[in-house]
Chain A
Amino acid sequence: MGALPPSSHALITAPLRGADEIRDNTAFEAILWALSRPGEIRHLPEPGPRTILLALVDRECRVHADDAVIGELAAWTGATLTPLAGADHVFLSLEPGADIARLNTLKVGSALYPDDGATVVVEARLGRAEGDGQRLSLSGPGIETTREIAVAGLPAGFFALRDRLCRYPLGFDLFIVDGSDVIGLPRSTLIEVL
């Protein structure tokens, strides 16, 4: 009974997917998988955080972007550009030596509404070779036991700051983008810096 008889409405053809729909659906599929299995690398349809923004952000969102091009794109979607403290979607450009004290104002939601915590997208390098970047050990939902990853190019103390802000179920959800590779680190993930 695997194959079903064709529908009696076979004459009505399904709508075709436009380029936007294909891009948004592919990007969402990648970040949904990445967030449900923290640390697993998935692939975005294009390099950079652009496709994540287009899949998620519209006029209902408040966006902060360090990068002017991403900010313009966010404004084009109709989103309101705000300072970091008020943004629900945050696109960061962090130099390795940058001062990250401003990130203390990231929205982490409330105990009543944990969903108010920000979605943060940051570009960094996902270490693949031995000794490349800061090694992290992840555990929590989506990981059977533990998973080790390496991330390079983020300021020192970034994960300590995340640890301080993410008081589960409060916190922010992080996507790290490296070219077209992406990993997700939801607030539920415990990160041990090795």
Chain B
Amino acid sequence: MTSLASLTKPWEAFSYGFLDASAKRELRRKMLKAVAVPGCQMPYASREVPIARGWGTGGLQVTLTLLKPTSVVKVIDQGADDSVNAASIRKFLSRVSGAGKTWDTGEATILQSRHRVPEEVLREDQILVLQVPNPEPLRPVEPNMSVARQMHADADYGRLWLTLYEQMVRSGRIMQGAAYPSLVNGRHVMTPSPIPRWDVPKLHMARHLTFLSAGREKRLYAVPPYTRVEPLVFSDVPYKVEEHHDLTCHRSGLTGYFMNEIPQNDGSSSFEVSDSHFGIKAIRRSEGEALAPIDTWYKNGELQP
């Protein structure tokens, strides 16, 4: 005989990894489609999670779907591991899954990040999850999202080049500092989330899988390993990253990485390396600790092929 007990599951405080099974299945389906069509924005339902929309809920849902007890998560907020947002998300992820926590890029299996890609080269078994505030590269030129969808369908991206051209005419150079529109797999233009120009080439033909997920906008997209990610440029105006190659971090002494500018009282600036744990490791090494050598995307401020 069917009893209520046979139809229901035993009581649980909450599901493993916070999301319920049906939410996870929907995310899994959409994540697979996102991998199959790199750079194409896939709509998804975007469940409620216990942080406010716009604070990383998109990335959080992707990470929660991937989590298992042996995962090790690193959460980056603008390069730092110790900001309130990063620390809260990392603590939450660990509490709902029993996954390990780390600040070290090399130890992590899942890296959820806001606005930076780590300086250390990611391995093929690592997954980068970028939180995206605005997934639509066409929004500045086409506010109607139905029309923008049609433009993606037609690969009609001329107006993006026009914006870049206008920046050249007005300012003499391309002013787009972050979220630089990039052509993925030669077909879809994506916004790589507001990572600096410095970080965009790290996604090109990378060894790792990248998910980009916008919780408030309910869309996710992906860059699989070994996928072409080409920033939009003109044939006579090459892509330029930030000129940080000769800046030195005042705390760790590192030179040639992406720096945060810290204004000083006397009007000058000092700089510190943006990838905070990368800087910490440099300090520890200078104090004599034996650390494994680190492979970085940039060496002496130049991107390594």
Interface residues on B, range: 35 or more
Q: Is A15 an interface residue when CB atoms closer than 8 A count as contact? A: yes
Q: Are A169 and B188 in contact (CB under 8 A)?
A: yes
Are A115 and B91 neighbours in the complex by a CB distance under 8 Å?
Answer: no
The prevalent SS among residues of B at the interface is mixed
- B: residues with CB less than 8 A from A are 12-17, 21-22, 24-26, 28-33, 35-38, 40, 42-43, 65-66, 68-69, 91, 94-98, 101-104, 107, 124, 149-150, 153-154, 185, 187-188, 205, 209, 222, 224-228, 277, 280
The one of B35, B68, B149 that contacts A112, using a Cβ cutoff of 8 Å: B149
Kindly state whether residue A49 has any CB partner on chain B within 8 Å. no
In the bound complex, do residue A119 and residue B103 qualify as a contact, i.e. CB atoms below 8 Å apart? no
Residue of A nearest to B187 (CB): A169
Q: How far is the CB of A9 from chain B (nearest CB, A)?
A: 6
Residues of B within 8 A of A28 (CB): 28, 65
> Interface segment, A64-72, A99-107, A122-130, A140-148?
A140-148
Whether B225 lies near A119 (C-beta < 8 A) is: no
**Are A186 and B69 in contact, CB atoms less than 8 angstroms apart?**
no
Give chain A's interface residues, CB within 8 Å of chain B. Answer: 1-4, 7, 9, 12-18, 20-22, 24-25, 28-29, 31-32, 35-37, 55-61, 110-112, 114-115, 117, 119, 140-144, 168-169, 171, 173, 186-188
Which residues of B are found within 8 Å of A114, using beta-carbon distances?
Answer: 33, 37, 40
Contact A35 B35 (CB under 8 A): yes
Q: Are A36 and B21 in contact (CB under 8 A)?
A: no
CB closest chain-B residue, reference A173: B36
Can you report 15 A-B residue pairs in the complex whose CB atoms are below 8 A from each other? A7-B91, A7-B94, A17-B16, A25-B68, A29-B68, A37-B124, A55-B28, A58-B22, A110-B153, A115-B37, A115-B40, A141-B228, A142-B226, A168-B187, A186-B37
